[in-house]
A = this chain, B = another copy of it.
Amino acid sequence: MRTVFHENLDELNGQLAKMCGRAGVAMKSATHALLAADLSAAEQVITAHDQMVGMRSDAEQAAFALLALQQPVAGDLRAVFSAIQIIADTERMDALAVHVAKIARLRYPEHTVYGEVSDCFAEMGRLAVGLGESAQQVLLTGDPAEAAHLREQDTSMDDLYRRLFSLLMSPSWDHGIAAAVDTALLGRFYERFADHAVEIGRRVVFIATGALPPEDDISTY
């Protein structure tokens, strides 16, 4: 009975890691769509979200079945309990990539962002993809030290997010209102993507140790 449970749990963890990996790929494509004004890349990210919704539903059913049929306790229960939360995080990460892609599509054939702001998003994209990969990795290894490290990676994202707002609020901003609005929202989408990756890290620490690290403070924006 325990063996079946652990096989099923491994399978569920594999689903979570796959969802997280897909969200990372989606954010990579969405960032490319944004920076290169690539309509077909944007469309692809938007269309692919349906599959993510299906994966969410499958993973939730698998987690539910594990609880209903196997009634896990202790560390095993922590793993399934946390999986329910992680499923939501990964789908949300993918939805945030869709938001980025939708802004790129809205502005096509124009570019959405230029110059220094564009560089900022290139870097935020790299960080987001890196955080997605790290989150996927810790879902597979379950290593709490590695999971806790996700928060440190996120501080670079917070720095970039602040830099973006200092560019936006500077008197020298000369890209107009629509670009300012796009920039602010895009910044938030990247920052939230990173927050969800950090949240996955917190949950992996909880699975391994039984103690949930404290949440970060809420930023002003």
Contact = CB atoms under 8 A, between A and B. Distances in A.
Given A68-B77, A73-B68, A218 B98 contact: yes
B95 A77 contact: no
Q: How many copies does the complex hold?
A: 2
Interface in A57-115: 57, 60, 63-64, 67-68, 71, 73-74, 77-78, 81, 84-85, 88, 95, 98-99, 102-103, 105-106
Contact of A77 (B67, B105, B169, B173): B67
A188 interface: yes
A221 B99 contact: yes
A212 interface: yes
Interface in A167-221: 168-169, 173, 177-178, 180-181, 184-185, 188, 212, 215, 218-221
A53 B215 contact: yes
Given A73-B68, A188-B185, A220 B168 contact: no
Interface string A33-73: 00000000000001001000100010010011001100101
A185 to B, nearest CB: 6
Interface residues of A, number: 42
B180 A177 contact: yes
Given A95-B218, A184-B184, A173 B177 contact: yes
Q: Tell me what chain A mostly uses at the interface: helix, strand, loop, or mixed.
A: helix
Interface of A: 46, 49, 53, 57, 60, 63-64, 67-68, 71, 73-74, 77-78, 81, 84-85, 88, 95, 98-99, 102-103, 105-106, 165, 168-169, 173, 177-178, 180-181, 184-185, 188, 212, 215, 218-221
A67 B63 CA distance: 13
Contact of A177 (B73, B103, B169, B219): B169
Contact of A185 (B60, B78, B85, B184): B184
Contacts of A73: 68
A180 B182 CA distance: 10
Contact of A181 (B60, B81, B169): B169
